[in-house]
Amino acid sequence: MSNLRNKVQLIGNVGDSPKITILESGHKVARFSMATNEYYRNAQGEKVQSTEWHYIVAWNKKADIIEKYTRKGKLIAIEGKLTSRSYVNDMNITCYVTEIVAYDILLLDSKETSTLTNEKLVEAETQQKNNSHTKEVEASEKSGTKKSQTRSRTRKNRKETNSKKA
């Protein structure tokens, strides 16, 4: 249960195109906003949509994934932890920020990239099926010849047994 103390899971849409920064240390960081929607009925029975905005931070490999595959409006799932920090802005005012540091990212609505990926997957699966079918045919041909050889031996043995009995 200790790993459930600070855990956030969200499914929502990317708000703006992610801002990618490479720090002096060489680490890559992606920052973006994410909108989650909740629907409910008000006192009059009308359906109401409530949108919450969250600020997401992803580091290194996760930042690479965000940079390559997400754009404004894409549906994604995030799992991470809630963090708070403060900084002093240009006007010497202390600002407080609460954001989610992403541990896991799942791309749910990447139609452009998934089309290419799905095409590659289909090609690979088709090739695997063809290869396995070819192997099955070869195996059945080999076993077919073995079966026919076994059958003819069995028939010979039966004939010999029957002729000895007679």
Q: What is this structure's pTM?
A: 0.60
Distance of alpha carbon 140 from alpha carbon 128, whole angstroms = 18
Q: Give residue-wise pLDDT tens across range 11-69.
A: 999 998 999 999 999 999 999 999 999 999 999 999 999 999 999 999 999 999 999 99
Reported as a pLDDT band with limits 50, 70 and 90, residue 154 is low
Give the residue, 90 or 116, on which the prediction is more confident. Answer: 90
Percentage of the chain modeled with pLDDT above 70? 64
For position 115, what pLDDT does the model report?
43
Q: What residue type is assigned to position 104 of the chain?
A: D
Residue 116 is predicted with a pLDDT of 44
Please state, in angstroms and rounded to a whole number, the distance separating the CA atoms of residues 163 and 153.
Answer: 15
Higher pLDDT, residue 144 or 109? 109
| Alpha carbon distances (Å) from 42 to 39, 51, 124 | 10, 15, 50
